[in-house]
Amino acid sequence: MPSTPDPKRLRFNMRYLLLIAGLGGLLYGIDVGIIAGALPYLEATSGLTSNQLSIIVAAVLLGSVISTLFAGMLADFLGRKKLMILGGLCFVVSIPMIALAQGFGPLVLGRLLQGVSAGLVGVVVPLYLAECLDASNRGKGTGVFQWLLTLGILAAAIIAYAFSFRVDHLEKAGNAQAIFAFKDFAWRSIFWVSIAPGLFFVGGACFVPESPRWIFRRGQKAEALAALLYTRTVEEAELELKEMAETAESEKKGTGEKAKGSLLSRRYVIPFLLACIILACNQATGINSIIGYHATILIQAGLGDNAAHLGYVLLTAVNFLMTMVAVALVDKKGRKFLLSVGSGGIILTLVCTGLIFRSTEKHRVDVAPALQARVTQDQSVSLKFTPETARQLLLSAGQDAALAQKPSTLIAIYSYGGFRAATKVVRSTDTLSDFAITRESCVPKDKAGAIAARISNPTADAQAALTAPLKIEAALITPVPSATNGWIIAICTFLFIAFFAMGPGVCVWLALSELMPTRIRSNGMSIALLINQAVSTTIAAAFLPTVGKYGYGTMFLLFAGFTVVYFVTAAFFLPETKGKTLEEIEAHFEGRK
């Protein structure tokens, strides 16, 4: 019989596992959030087109999709520990590739590698935690992963906000050369700073044990027991090892190997479907779009540029703080309770936000015909959006020009052949309110850009788009609401992120790893995460066109409708998994005690 481990040693080992898991979440958060702060400076100094920049932003998603496809198989083949190290190494290598890049190709390659890291880490760390931690600490472990994930997003926002003060100082001094040099230094520095957690994660992952369940399924019972003893007493480890053996034996019951091979049985299908629905609904709340376009949303709601960016920092701070609350509650209140409360609160905040936007957007006017009339021979549009310009556009479109007497914004949805894009939002009262549409901002010219553009416009004919006329699909002039209205919307989004962090933010990783039976856990998690990313990509592609045509109010109400499915699934179909071993959860779906 193995000797009883020292309780102090067990506590140290547990904290060490949680730290490494947290660093994995930090990497994932940096992968997601770092580009938001670096993008304005990259845009100003790289000389890349908006199409190329959008591909650089989206490259992480593409890399993540690719690696997620194979993460489950790699986790089964290499083991959880080795795949964690590989995911961390991909992140570390990607940083110098990006920070030292001098063109589009290296930037895309580095961002793709960051995405590969995100996909591997997003699958393997929750999987590793679920299989290594005991039932009483599993929720805390996954909570720490999500907590430091939100810290990564917050840190990226704060770093970028800090650089903005120096940029503002240089712009007031009017030294164009100094501004350019500092912006180039800023975006590269933002990436360099993020390499430290990657190095710590790789080094730390080298000293954690392999997953005991992965070892057990390879027939190494003694090694599996040793891995369990890393964080458990002898009695706990032997009991859990016995449960693993009973679960493995149950797979061979009945018709023997035939029963073992059937993946359409109740024990596999129901938890797999529940995990897929929860992962899909998690993105259907609109979380990524609300985070990614938060500053733009607040500008449209009535806040100025600086206040809107401050609002984004506050949003990430609320996300971080409420995730701490979720970590404290997840093993006390349970997953089902937090998911139900969180998704219910999300519905209320989304409905409130949507209705407030609807009350202001009903006054907006589409001046597409007037803007189309300003298209030049080279199929472009360039103007300075001032109150006088707004008045002229409104009159040309046969609309009441009284709207131009108040501050307003202009955004256009346009296309060249099969390539569609949206302009940035410009405000009539801003000093830098230049509005421009060019073919280069939408249609790629070089080979690298053409390949990249296929990702966002897979059915478009690039050759035809090079000569296609510019079509203005929508050009919307919207009265700018008051700053009070903007802060009300900001508070609604803060409440949205608070409910998300408290429920779905933490519990989605638990649902993903806990619901899947041991036999299909790695591949099942890969498929569920792939569905998650497919929904995220679909929403990202539809967000701007939908907002341009129907407004933010409609988009928020759609998100609320999707979240109703989430609430019903969590409240009425999801079993409570708090305090249960993975084998007990599996037995529940199989219908045995």
Percent of the chain at pLDDT above 70?
87
Helix or strand run (H / E) with residue 94 = helix 80-99
Whether residue 379 is predicted with pLDDT greater than 70 in this model: the reply is yes
CA gap 556, 552 in Å, rounded: 6
- Residue 90: name the closest of 70, 111, 62, 59 by CA: 111
Q: Which residue has the higher pLDDT, 356 or 57?
A: 356
Alpha-carbon dihedral angle through residues 357, 360, 366, 367, given to the nearest 10 degrees: -130
* pLDDT at 304 (0 to 100): 75
- What's the rounded mean pLDDT across residues 497-506? 90
List the single range of 227-236, 302-311, 371-380 with lowest mean pLDDT: 302-311
CA gap 50, 424 in Å, rounded: 10
3-class DSSP state of 22: helix
Whether residue 449 is predicted with pLDDT greater than 70 in this model: the reply is no
Sign of CA dihedral 521, 522, 526, 527: negative
- What's the rounded mean pLDDT across residues 266-288? 84
- Count Cβ atoms below 10 Å from residue 257 Cβ, excluding itself: 9
CA gap 460, 134 in Å, rounded: 51
* pLDDT at 509 (0 to 100): 72
Q: Which two tokens stand for residue 430?
A: 């801003």
3-class DSSP state of 586: helix
Whether residue 47 is predicted with pLDDT greater than 70 in this model: the reply is yes
pLDDT tens digits, 105-155: 889 899 899 889 988 988 888 888 878 887 777 777 777 777 887 887 777
Q: Are 273 and 263 in contact (CB under 8 A)?
A: no
Whether residue 577 is predicted with pLDDT greater than 60 in this model: the reply is yes
Whether residue 555 is predicted with pLDDT greater than 80 in this model: the reply is yes
Looking at the domain that runs over 1-208, which CATH code has it been given?
Answer: 1.20.1250.20
Helix or strand run (H / E) with residue 316 = helix 305-333
List the single range of 194-208, 250-264, 416-430, 441-455 with lowest mean pLDDT: 250-264
CA gap 76, 251 in Å, rounded: 18
Alpha-carbon dihedral angle through residues 286, 288, 290, 295, given to the nearest 10 degrees: -170
* pLDDT at 17 (0 to 100): 86
* pLDDT at 376 (0 to 100): 92
The label of the residue with tokens 């009535």 reads 302
Which pTM value belongs to this model?
0.73
Cα-Cα end-to-end distance for the chain: 28
CA gap 192, 372 in Å, rounded: 44
* pLDDT at 179 (0 to 100): 80
pLDDT tens digits, 54-85: 678 777 877 887 888 888 888 888 998 999 99
Split at pLDDT 50, 70, 90, the class of 591 is: low
CA gap 208, 88 in Å, rounded: 14
DSSP per-residue string spanning 416-458: ETTEEEEPPPEETT-S--EEEE-GGGTS--SHHHHHHHHHH-T
CA gap 400, 394 in Å, rounded: 6
User: What is the average pLDDT score of the chain?
Assistant: 81
For the ranges 82-96, 277-291, 415-429, the maximum mean pLDDT occurs at 82-96
Split at pLDDT 50, 70, 90, the class of 458 is: low
The label of the residue with tokens 């949205």 reads 496
CA gap 582, 515 in Å, rounded: 8
Alpha-carbon dihedral angle through residues 546, 313, 336, 510, given to the nearest 10 degrees: 100
Angstrom distances, CA of residue 237 to CA of 102, 201, 241, 277: 53, 27, 6, 33
